[in-house]
Amino acid sequence: MKLQRVFGNTYFIKGGTNTGVYLFENKNALLIDPGLSGLRPKNMINMFENEKIIPKYIVNTHEHEDHVGACHQIKNAYPEIAIFASDEAKLFIERPELFSDFILGGKHNKFLTEKLFHRNTEKISVDAIICEGKLQKNGVDFEVINLKGHTSGSIGILTSDGVLFAGDLLIGEETLSKYDFLFLQDVEEYLKSLDIVKSLDFNYIVLAHGKKVLDKNDTILLIEKHKQAVHKYLCQIIENLKVPMNVDTLLKKIIKENENFKSYLIMSESAKLTLAHETEYSLEDIYQYADFILEPKDIGACPASGSFKTEGMLIVPCSMKTIAGIHSGYADNLILRAADVTIKEQRTLVLAARETPLSSIHLRNMHELSQIQGIRIIPPMMTFYNLPKDINEMMYHIAAKLLEPFGIEAKEYRRWTGLQ
């Protein structure tokens, strides 16, 4: 971990959330968005100690966990540090359990609360509220800019070196290609904030979630891409609402309209039994996400022919019986026939092999299948290097790994980036 200079006394520390650092002449520092709690702030503190840097201030651009979660660890290491945030952000930083209720209009949702609220039990207290205008610290002027939209209290910080930290107002192109845009609390305010940034006098912007530091010209181009993404969805929503529908139906239609692929679902009788035994989902819950539903007996369906172009096939979970059938070429149902076609056409076949312990027969079959071009055997194994907070994050990571061979990038897939 190291400080990377942007310009003058303004630096940043790379990470899942890039942390801004302004170094004063006496090696005191102002931090912007310290990021998540855990290992990274420990490494950050070690780096500060090695470089004889003393953090004196933390400015949080908004209240989200991936920006403020490390505050309590840094506060423990530097008790005299002062933590700043906007009035609106202060509420949710100090009472993070309220956030899920707020975005649902006051209705409590236990699942969403657990999903959003992972923070260490230590509370974070905001020492002072900052408002739009000049913020002077250690004799240096910073400018606080209201950049509402992502949240109601989002702010940006412009250093005296002309470097802007705008929180989650903008995301890098590599992230934009996956998300289109991040969570927006107020679309109208968000679009206004994009125009505010265009009008600002700055030299560089450090994106909270991005790999590059951008100059103003590149920032303006990125702003236009964000606007296009927002307007695309606004147009789709307006068009769909010409026919009355509830929010759930609207969301499903928008998701379908923005998929760049069609899916064919084949569920064996065993899969249906497993679904009923291991989950609370019904068949209808699963069917709604597929474009086409096929039965194993439909041996004449499209996927049974190599002339039917596909990107490949995923079998999940994949029993040892199915593994054995694929291995032997015993294509007596549509699942085995489609797998056989995928192999002969040298397309991607992913097998989420599920069994433990594995016998010599199982290992032999999987070993020999793994030698065939296009076949990937990816057992649904739990991983811990991505620091999952709960079983849902573990399952998400597994699902992301299963989709990756098809070039489908899961939006919240956390890749290994090395120890920081």
Same domain? For 64 and 209 the reply is: yes
Same domain? For 198 and 59 the reply is: yes
Q: What is the pTM of this model?
A: 0.68
Same domain? For 232 and 270 the reply is: no
Same domain? For 232 and 358 the reply is: no
Same domain? For 89 and 36 the reply is: yes
DSSP 320-374: HHHHHHHHHT---SHHHHHHHHHHHTT-EEEEEE--SSPPHHHHHHHHHHHTSTT
CATH of the domain at 168: 3.60.15.10
396 belongs to a structural domain: no
User: Number of structural domains, the chain?
Assistant: 2
Give the model's pLDDT for residue 180.
73
165 belongs to a structural domain: yes
Q: Could you check whether the bond before residue 244 is cis, i.e. omega within 30 degrees of 0? A: no
CATH of the domain at 302: 3.40.50.1950
Give me 93's structure tokens.
Answer: 């930083």
Say which DSSP state 19 is in. Answer: E
Give me 199's structure tokens.
Answer: 């009008």
Give the model's pLDDT for residue 119.
47
Scan for tokens 């096939």, then name that residue: 313
Q: Whole domain around residue 13: which residue ranges?
A: 4-236
Give the model's pLDDT for residue 100.
64
257 belongs to a structural domain: no
Same domain? For 38 and 117 the reply is: yes
411 belongs to a structural domain: no
Judged on CB neighbours under 10 Å (0-12, 13-18, 19+), 332 is: exposed
Same domain? For 288 and 154 the reply is: no
Q: For the chain, which ranges sit under pLDDT 50?
A: 119-121
Q: Identify the three-state secondary structure at position 31.
A: strand
Residue partners of 348: CB distance under 8 A and separation at least 6: 311, 312, 313, 342, 374, 376, 405, 406
pLDDT digits (tens, 9 = 90+) for 168-181: 999 988 778 777 77
Give the model's pLDDT for residue 212.
87
Same domain? For 70 and 208 the reply is: yes
252 belongs to a structural domain: no
Same domain? For 119 and 60 the reply is: yes
Give the model's pLDDT for residue 120.
47
C-alpha span between 10 and 16 (Å, rounded):
19
Give the model's pLDDT for residue 112.
57
